[in-house]
A and B are shown apart, each in its own frame.
Chain A
Amino acid sequence: MASSVQPSLDQAPPFSIPLLFFLTAPLFGVIAGLLIFFFGPDALVSRWSEKTLAITHLLTIGVLGMLMCGALTQILPVVAGSPIPGVRWVGPIVHLLLTLGTLLLAGGFLSGYPAVFIGAVASLGVGFGLFILVATMALYKSWKASSSVVAIRLAIIGLLVTIVIGIYLALQFSGIVNVRNLMLLTNIHLAWGFLGWIGLLIAGMAFQVLPMFQMTPEYPGWFSRSFPIVIFIVLSSWSLLALFWMPSDEAYQLVWLIACIYGLFVPFSLYLQHHRRRKVNDISLFFWGVGLAVLFLVCLLYLIRHLGLWSPLLPPFALLQGGLLIYGFALSLTNGMLYKIVPFLAWFHLQDRKMKVIGVGGVRVPNMKELLSEPLVQSQFGFHLAALLVLGLALYRPEWFSRPFGLLAALSSALLWFNLYRVVYRYRRVNSGITNFAKEHAR
């Protein structure tokens, strides 16, 4: 009996949808870098300063949030076998609301005006809420709950928790509510943001992407199935215990446990990469390597702290952890990912259009590597690495190194944007070429 449910296997969104997100994100990186350059040491001295909070959210929402949402519009059809419903109109709306909301949030932190915070809350709340809704619809319609799908489902819940707490905290800043456990809730907010949302999403994607595109062996089934669930359970337990039952210091032991589990992700990934069948190296691989190394370093730092060995010579733990996780881990990985996804999508859509409009031959579609400028990509990697190293120095000596870091970070993001834009520019030119060829040969 033939199934009446025929999955549509052509479910990629139009190129413009993920592009909106991918081209906006680096611009927020430029803004964040420039703000660090202008504010100098003030930006990196304390995690509680409004300037640091503004910059942090420009990076976590404006860059990382944007990139993750854009990636999900593209990845869900492949990984979960179902597209985001209504992506053609949901995509631009979510993009607009996240852009506006991030600017308002940064503006709120910097100005202190409650109305600006309220605007940010409304914009981000609706934007993320809409995205979570449609992503959930896609994820729970999927054919097969692979380990990637499970990880992504939990990551979306992680996003929801992060946003809800974030909204509550933003309302505190706008004077509408009075939050009792401000520091604890902030820690819970950022833990869910990093470990629940971004971390699980990256893990979920890695479980699929590494074997697919680097031809590594599959992650061991027991690891990929249990990793997201264990992280989620421990994170939830810590949050609830710390909020309601235990003194937060004791509950914090659980966060150390999470750090250990994340630490395990690194040797597994490295082992698999070592045994990959593809032997060629490229820049994306280097970005990935840097990201993994930094993740491991952060886990080691947790261990050092847990064992009571933290030295006053080291920078403040929270800033170090935050800076490394955002800039060293998440931004490195996403940077590498962009240099694959954007050229591939450009090629894919061009090739698809060419085949439909012209057929075989006619116009030559440049391949993935030809759409990118390799020297410029390598330069951008250089800037990113330099910025990361200077960040380390800046956390020690903000008075000397914050501005250089800000400048390098802004330059790195600007060059990333330019490299991606160049792909889009070439895409448009080839696309016009296809249109012209078709017109000429139709006569």
Chain B
Amino acid sequence: MHSTIAEKMSADHRHCDDLFAAAESSVGQGEWGEARADFSSFNQVMEHHLRMEEEILFPEFEARTGQQGGPTEIMRGEHAQMRDLFLSMSEAVSESDQSGYLGSSETLLWIIQQHNSKEENILYPMIDNMLSSEVDLLLQKLSQLD
């Protein structure tokens, strides 16, 4: 199993990427039954990932640094942008709107990828560093989040 926050969260990023690609592919092929199921999985797993950050990681980071308006605020802002796009994608899926979905999903991809890049290259390593004595406890909390 994962031994650092960076490892665990990055692996989760890859998992979300796979679900993203599956949903995009089903929509692209017009297989709406499958697309709805794929999108639902993707949405759920992503939402869980965002909550892991917002409810556990970011508050710990903010408590340590004493900062509310630092890097984590930017990340939260981008989470809001992602959720906005998820809403559009959800509507598109229920209306079987292929171009609407694909437009929103491409945009979501761009936001997610550069967001993930910042987290994996900068934020997660910082968190591992800063909270090094509590990493095991944090990992436990993360896996217990439902």
What residues of chain A have their CB less than 8 Å away from a CB belonging to chain B? 2-3, 6-10, 78-79, 81, 143-144, 146, 208, 212-213, 215, 277-280, 340, 344, 347-348, 351-352, 355, 360, 367-370
Contact = CB atoms under 8 A, between A and B. Distances in A.
Given A3-B126, A7-B122, A78-B114, A369 B103 contact: yes
Contacts of B123: 9
A78 B74 CA distance: 14
B88 A367 contact: yes
6 contacts: A2-B64, A6-B70, A9-B118, A213-B109, A279-B28, A355-B77
B130 A3 contact: yes
Interface in B11-27: 17-18, 20-21, 24-25
Interface of B: 17-18, 20-21, 24-25, 28, 64-67, 70-71, 74-75, 77, 80-81, 84-85, 88, 99, 102-104, 106-107, 109-111, 113-114, 117-118, 121-123, 126, 129-130
B118 A213 contact: no
Contacts of B99: 369
A369 B20 CA distance: 17
Nearest to B106: A368
Contact of B75 (A9, A215, A352): A9
Interface of A is mostly: loop
Contacts of A9: 71, 74-75, 118, 122-123
Nearest to B21: A277
A212 B113 contact: yes
A10 B121 CA distance: 14
A20 to B, nearest CB: 21
Contact of A7 (B24, B71, B85, B111): B71
Q: Which A-B residue pairs are the 7 nearest by beta carbons?
A: A369-B103, A277-B21, A367-B103, A212-B113, A367-B107, A9-B71, A368-B107
B130 A2 contact: yes
Between B65, B66, B70, B109, the greatest number of chain A beta carbons within 10 A of the residue's beta carbon is seen for B109
A153 to B, nearest CB: 16
A356 B24 CA distance: 30
B71 A6 contact: yes
Contacts of B25: 278-280
Given A6-B67, A369-B99, 17 more contacts: A2-B64, A2-B130, A3-B126, A9-B123, A144-B121, A213-B109, A213-B110, A215-B17, A215-B20, A277-B18, A278-B21, A278-B25, A280-B24, A280-B28, A280-B102, A367-B107, A368-B103
Given A278-B21, A369-B99, A369-B102, A81 B122 contact: yes
